[in-house]
């Protein structure tokens, strides 16, 4: 039995944030029905493509789902959609605020159709506030959240993070919100409408950067491969490349000084605490790199690891995906047709064991009659999840 066995999700979202939320729920065993317009999800056009012409991006985000096509501008399909809402537990959408409302399904109407529905709306800036009507993509929210201003080469300029964290973070928040709302529904019997914003998500994960902005007058700018506060905590040149060292305590710094045979560092006032080391991180970086100048990356990592100093190689994406630990953890898997893809980041006893490929457009339209013949979810006994 899977974690979300018996939970039905209507996923009418597109591209990344919403589909990823739906895929997380599908990986946990929910019955996820992907509802596409006749034009289809734009992500189907994003490469690279398989030999059969399928978008690998779309397949990654929509595995394990059923697929149907509905045109919500058509009255008959709007009625079918309304009936599906009444027979589902969760709805995911990532239209701009107001679009679903204008199609006849504002939050209060969704909850009228199904008082037990957990409806989650993911948008660029949320349903309230002065920017609510503005469209947003990952790049826009990375720039406006402040994240871009602290990412990039030491001293700037700011750059975009290499993956679409502006979509991934709200997708994770949305999945957490859905699970918490389903738990609450088990107690109250009622559903709710959840407002998730890409902008909110990125601002909320600024952690130490935000605390510096709120509580100090320090200049905040990119610090390259190094932490802006702790040191040594970053990338360091060695004889034949670069390695990472992450030291954020006095005890670990003492281990580093010992393994690199630099006892003088422990008597140097510039390195007396993590805060002092952070203020003098450039000088410390030069000293560490001087100590490692004649050491290969393999030798450096072996010596540091043996001394209990957190360290690691700087891997390319293909190197990371083929690393023995990646493979041992099952992070790269094959779907039944041989398509190589990524597993989820969390596996539980309730996670699906084998992934079903993403559906073709309208692949499961023939199941619509069966779903609509079921009792509405409001008729399900109270107390069920």
Locus of tokens 């096509």:
69
- Distance from CA of residue 113 to its chain's centroid? 31
Q: Residue 64 to residues 7, 22, 43, 345: CA-CA distances in angstroms?
A: 14, 9, 16, 16
Quickly list DSSP for 128-183.
SSTTTT----HHHHHHHHSTGGGSSSTT------SS-HHHHHHHHHHHHHHHHHHH
Q: Residue 20 to residues 6, 108, 128, 339: CA-CA distances in angstroms?
A: 20, 25, 24, 18
Query: Is 364 labeled as catalytic in the residue annotation?
Result: no
Given a contact cutoff of 8 angstroms between Cβ atoms, the answer to whether 35 and 72 are in contact is: no
369 token code pair: 């009659």
- Distance from CA of residue 173 to its chain's centroid? 8
Q: Parallel, antiparallel, or unpaired: how do β-strands 31-36 and 65-69 relate?
A: parallel
Which among 326, 218, 309 has a CA at the least distance from the CA of 256?
309
Given a contact cutoff of 8 angstroms between Cβ atoms, the answer to whether 351 and 2 are in contact is: yes
- Distance from CA of residue 19 to its chain's centroid? 11
209 token code pair: 């950067």
Of 227, 325, 364, 366, the active-site residue reads: 227
Quickly list DSSP for 270-328.
GGSSHHHHHHTHHHHHHHHHHHTTTS-HHHHHHHHHHTT--EEE---HHHHHT-HHHHH
Given a contact cutoff of 8 angstroms between Cβ atoms, the answer to whether 93 and 117 are in contact is: no
Locus of tokens 């589902």:
88
User: Any idea which residues carry the catalytic annotation?
Assistant: 227
């Amino acid at each position: 039995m899977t974690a979300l066995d018996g939970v039905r999700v209507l996923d009418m979202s597109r591209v990344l944030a919403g589909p990823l939320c739906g895929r997380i729920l599908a990986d946990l065993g929910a019955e996820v029905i992907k509802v596409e317009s006749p034009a289809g999800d734009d992500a189907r056009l994003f490469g690279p493509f398989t030999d059969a012409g399928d978008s690998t991006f779309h397949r990654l985000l929509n595995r394990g789902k059923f697929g149907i096509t509905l045109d919500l501008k058509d009255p008959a399909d709007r009625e079918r959609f309304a009936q599906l809402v009444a027979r589902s537990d969760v709805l995911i959408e990532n239209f701009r605020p107001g679009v679903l409302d204008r199609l006849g399904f504002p939050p209060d109407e969704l909850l009228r159709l199904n008082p037990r529905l957990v409806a989650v709306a993911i948008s660029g800036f949320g349903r309230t506030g002065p920017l609510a009507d503005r469209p947003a993509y990952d790049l826009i929210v990375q720039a406006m959240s402040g994240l871009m201003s602290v990412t990039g080469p030491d001293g700037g300029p700011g750059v975009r993070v290499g993956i679409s964290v502006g979509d991934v973070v709200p997708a994770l928040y949305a999945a957490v919100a859905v699970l918490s709302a389903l738990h609450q529904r088990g107690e109250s019997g009622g559903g709710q409408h959840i407002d998730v914003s890409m902008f909110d998500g990125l601002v909320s994960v600024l952690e130490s950067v935000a605390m510096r902005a709120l509580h100090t007058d320090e200049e905040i700018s990119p610090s390259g491969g190094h932490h802006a506060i702790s040191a040594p905590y970053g990338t360091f040149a060695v004889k034949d490349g670069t390695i990472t060292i992450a030291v954020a305590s006095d005890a670990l710094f003492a281990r580093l000084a010992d393994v690199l045979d630099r006892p003088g560092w422990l008597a140097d006032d510039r390195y007396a605490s993590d805060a002092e080391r952070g203020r003098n991180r450039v000088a410390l970086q030069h000293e560490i790199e001087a100590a490692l100048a004649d050491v290969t990356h393999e030798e450096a990592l072996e010596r540091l690891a043996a001394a209990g100093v957190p360290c690691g190689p700087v891997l390319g994406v293909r190197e990371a995906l083929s690393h023995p630990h990646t493979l041992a953890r099952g992070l790269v898997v094959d779907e039944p047709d041989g398509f190589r893809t990524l597993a989820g980041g969390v596996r539980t006893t309730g996670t699906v064991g084998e992934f079903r490929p993403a559906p073709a457009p309208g692949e499961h339209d023939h199941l619509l009659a069966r779903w609509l013949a079921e009792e509405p979810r409001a008729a399900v006994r109270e107390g069920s999840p």
